[in-house]
Structure 1
């Protein structure tokens, strides 16, 4: 019995032995900048993190040297796209992109429209992969760009196909980050998307564009991302919105199966 007690007490200090306050400060800076819509000065960062400027100065120098942050507007700091680049190299994300790109290329050829994959990161949708339309003119969303998840058809589609706990966590983070209230009709909106299996919605940001968006599911039957076509009407469009929705649903089904995902049971 005595030896058992010794083992238990020895395991407690081990946690403190591996404490890494410098790393924690650096991660605090990254998370703060990720959740803040604009660049922040050293004094802004120190105030938000409740630390002195001298405490975070070395963190800023190191993060800037490693390419995670950059100075903008003088002495203000913002995140670079390095984290996005690393996310793309992460095996699950890399597999999603690898399996999806051939399908996306086929969709663009079938519809003469651009197509992209978006995932939810925090309070935003991030564009992971994108293919332009095979036409002289068209509309597309930039690779790596982000948009408020409540201003993107893909954001609503993903939300509509999350489990209750994950949905609640996502909405809580969105409210905390943006300071906004959840739309009053959100529950009804998400229910409609689930019934349809997709979203067809005029763009929240651009006139004349109708977003068609469908979910891609992981092995838990939870939405891991959404495939979206920002549809524009040509004078001689060969594919309409209804047929385009069917094409996109089939594409998402193929990608879901390719990554080992499964469809939710209704």
Structure 2
């Protein structure tokens, strides 16, 4: 808050303002900052901000980097947004499109969003007919282990990927992370992900990103099962991409 803004404020909450200043500063800088750097940038003393930063760290909004070279934002604010009001708007836009998609491809489909270091399924449409394979609502897995998680990471803006990378990379082996990054690069080139399910045999996961105004809002995924009446994988991918693009337009997002 600048000095020119202070007189116009009807109510003041100094402690809250300090905490928000720290969050906004870390978001703007996009790089690790120590307490001394934060205090200097905000023109405050270290002792004045110490308890604010401690609480933000305890609540999971900021964290030290694995290398210990300063504080960075976690994705907690992003996760809160995805699992609260924005997620509701995503569902409102997505469900009618998902129903039509399921009829076209003859498969089930589901919608997954990011929550901390995991992907969580928030909606699903069953396959038409009497048989099909689907993933239940509430199903969750580590982002680095799931097709939907790969999509949620791969298509984020670079600044967001950098922040996620700082938290996710230390959770897996170096070789596993290298493979994950390679898959993400391939996904960006192809605008979708096609991968054999590592959970269920004979299922191929097909997934495409749904964009909101600020990046990836969700992953639209279909666990493809080959049946006598199934359309081709290529046609299914095209239908999923078209559906994801339609939902993105409804949300005011576009492919990045």
Task: State TM-score, norm by structure 2.
Answer: 0.67
SS of alignment partner, residue 177 of structure 2: coil
| 1:133 corresponds to | 127
Output the aligned Cα RMSD.
Answer: 3.3
Q: Which has the larger radius of gyration?
A: 1
- Report what 2:248 is aligned to: 256
* Separation in 2, partners of 1:243, 1:15: 55
What corresponds to 2:41 in structure 1? Answer: none
2:90 corresponds to 1:92: no
Where 1:93 maps in the other structure, the secondary structure is: helix
The total of aligned residue pairs comes to 196
Tell me which of 156, 161, 165 is aligned to 1:162. 156
Among candidates 243, 261, 264, match of residue 235 of structure 2 = 243
Q: Which runs of 5+ in 2 are unaligned?
A: 1-6, 20-50, 61-78
Give the structure-1-normalised TM-score: 0.64
In structure 1, the residue corresponding to 2:217 is in which secondary structure? strand
Shift of 1:112: 1.5
Aligned partner of 2:225 in structure 1 is: 232
5+ residue gaps, structure 1: 1-6, 32-83
Per-residue deviation, 1:180: 4.5
Write out aligned runs for 1:146-161 (5 A): 146-161=140-155
Q: Contact between 1:122 and 1:174, CA under 8 Å: does it hold in 2? A: no
Identify the residue that residue 200 of structure 2 maps to in structure 1.
Answer: 206
Q: Structure 2 CA distance, aligned partners of 1:226 and 1:174?
A: 18
Residue 15 in structure 1 maps to residue 9 in structure 2: no
Identify which of 166, 190, 193 aligns with 2:184. 190
